Chains A and B, each alone.
Chain A
Amino acid sequence: MTMYKLLINPLGLVSSVQRLSDNAFIPFDPMNSDYAEYLKWLAEGNEPLPPDQPE
């Protein structure tokens, strides 16, 4: 099962998600097909890992 982890950008906002299988950074863009796959994964009841908190 593909695993994802939310990411916080340097401005402190959650703006993308990381696909852990290949370290890909997926933007929250509805036209991005990887993001569409992530939304489908979420709809199946899965949850991403929480983001690392800024130091």
Chain B
Amino acid sequence: MAGQIIVSSIKTDSDNSISFVANTGATIFSANLASGLSASSFGNNTITSDKIVSVANTKIDGNIVSSQITSVANTQLTGTVTSAQVGSSVYEGMGMRNRIINGDMRIDQRNAGASSTPSVNGTYLVDRWQLGFSAGLASKFTVGQNLNSVTPPVGFTNYFGIQVASTATPSSTDNSYFAQPIEANNMSDLAWGTANAKTVTLSFQVYSSLTGTFSGSLFGYSSGRSYPFTFSIASANTWTSISITVSGDTSGTWAISNSGFLYVLFNLGSGSSNLGTANAWSGTQYFGATGSVQLVSNSAATFYITGVQLEVGSVATPFERRPFGTELALCQRYFCKTFSTGTAPAQNTGYTGALGAIAINAGASTALWAHFQFPSEMRAVPTITTFSPTAANANWYSPAGPSSTTSAGSFGNSTRFANIYNTTAPAAGANIVYYVQATASSEL
């Protein structure tokens, strides 16, 4: 029966409830008008956004998907927002989450882009990254920033390149790796060694002439602990994005100081004694995982890497972009120099940036002194190395001609400055300025 009833008011029953019943007998709307409407009022049907207009302080419980939120000013979300629920563009505004310094390999104070074949274990390469090896694997790798000039991944201008210079089969106790040691002061919030140990995620981009399962390790600096991990490269000579999530270590004693905390380490070829089970913390210090690719055993094999990031949490966020000056300052806590940024420290590279001192008198009665102020507070009192501006020795030199007869020295140093001196004064040249170059290293 069609029709309508027109009334001026409807009075509810004793509890202020009201309901409408369909011709099937089912309730299609019911509500307690004193306490408000709920989802059940509408038979759990959805209220679309065009049905809600200009309602202040509306509270909505349950999941809201992104397509249901449009152009709402001053929207406030309460509760926990997990990383998986936040778009990548948001992370790009969150700074200093990457515990790796120079993860994009763009700062190279020591070599200025030149390649080398290191023979000394622990040689530092691009800033903060080192090549390590046991004696049996010395001089097996040619390394350098942007080695062999492959195209970096999108968004990067630099990578670090490693190529096998001569092959070897590692003995059981051999090891070789590319790694960055991280200072414990920058990791103490991880609470490792406690029940509250935080999860971290390591991400990077890698490119190799080989395919297969590669490995690396989170290698405790002094805790005696390690976490071997693996990663797969399916296509040769193709940049591949890798993400590895590691539950924090609840065991061991992890330093909280200006000492080292751990190495983020990529295995280049290690013996069976140095390889362990992947994806588990161990009380043995493993350099990688059993059965993984041994780069050093493959003639001319290449391994390129960039965009290395280690962050708290279980999600790999986009690589954190930091200003060049900020990244350089972070590097200078561990290594700095009087040379220009783009000049590799060496003897006989000129006067630019050199420290100067005036010899008041000529002869043995006058000492030369210069003050080397570091651009950043260094991690520890650094090792000082001096370089002559114009000769293949470490002596002071003057553009006017005279030089000191012995190398410059250094004493009375701190984490903020060094004194560069020479107690054996130049044999000639009163009131002449002498110069010397220097580097300071407090690497881990």
Contact = CB atoms under 8 A, between A and B. Distances in A.
A50 interface: no
A25 B443 contact: no
Interface in A1-33: 7, 9-10, 15-16, 18-19, 22-27, 29, 31-33
A26 B367 CA distance: 21
A27 to B, nearest CB: 4
State the majority secondary structure of interface residues on A: mixed
Contacts of A7: 409, 411
B411 A16 contact: yes
B384 A31 contact: no
A29 B383 CA distance: 10
Given A31-B379, A33-B444, A34-B383, A25 B394 contact: no
A22 B438 CA distance: 12
B216 interface: no
B284 interface: no
Given A23-B394, A25-B409, A25-B410, A10 B421 contact: yes
Q: Which of A9, A18, A23, A55 has the most CB of B within 10 A?
A: A23
A25 B442 contact: no
Contact of B383 (A15, A24, A55): A24
B383 A25 contact: yes
A25 B381 contact: no
Interface in B228-279: 258-259
A54 interface: yes
A9 B411 contact: yes
Given A31-B258, A34-B441, A55-B364, A23 B386 contact: yes
Nearest to B444: A33
Which size bracket describes the interface of A in this complex?
Answer: 20 to 34
A23 to B, nearest CB: 5
State the majority secondary structure of interface residues on B: loop
B413 interface: yes
Interface in B378-402: 379-386, 394
Interface in A25-52: 25-27, 29, 31-35
Nearest to A54: B423
A10 B385 contact: no
B385 A32 contact: no
B411 A31 contact: no
Nearest to B379: A31
A23 B442 CA distance: 16
Interface residues of B, number: 26
Given A23-B394, A31-B259, A32-B380, A16 B385 contact: no
B423 A10 contact: yes
A1 B441 CA distance: 21
A33 B379 CA distance: 11
Contacts of B381: 27, 29, 31-32
Contacts of A22: 385
A22 to B, nearest CB: 6
Contacts of B364: 55
A54 B409 CA distance: 13
Nearest to B260: A33
Given A10-B423, A32-B442, A33-B443, A27 B413 contact: yes
B407 interface: yes
B40 to A, nearest CB: 66
Given A9-B411, A9-B412, A24 B384 contact: yes
B404 to A, nearest CB: 13
A27 B412 CA distance: 9
Nearest to B257: A31
Contacts of B258: 31
Contacts of B443: 33
Given A10-B421, A54-B423, A15 B384 contact: no
Q: Which of A16, A27, A32 has the most CB of B within 10 A?
A: A27
B382 A32 contact: yes
Interface in B142-191: none
A35 B382 CA distance: 10
Contacts of A16: 410-411
Interface of B: 258-259, 364, 367, 379-386, 394, 407, 409-413, 421, 423-424, 441-444
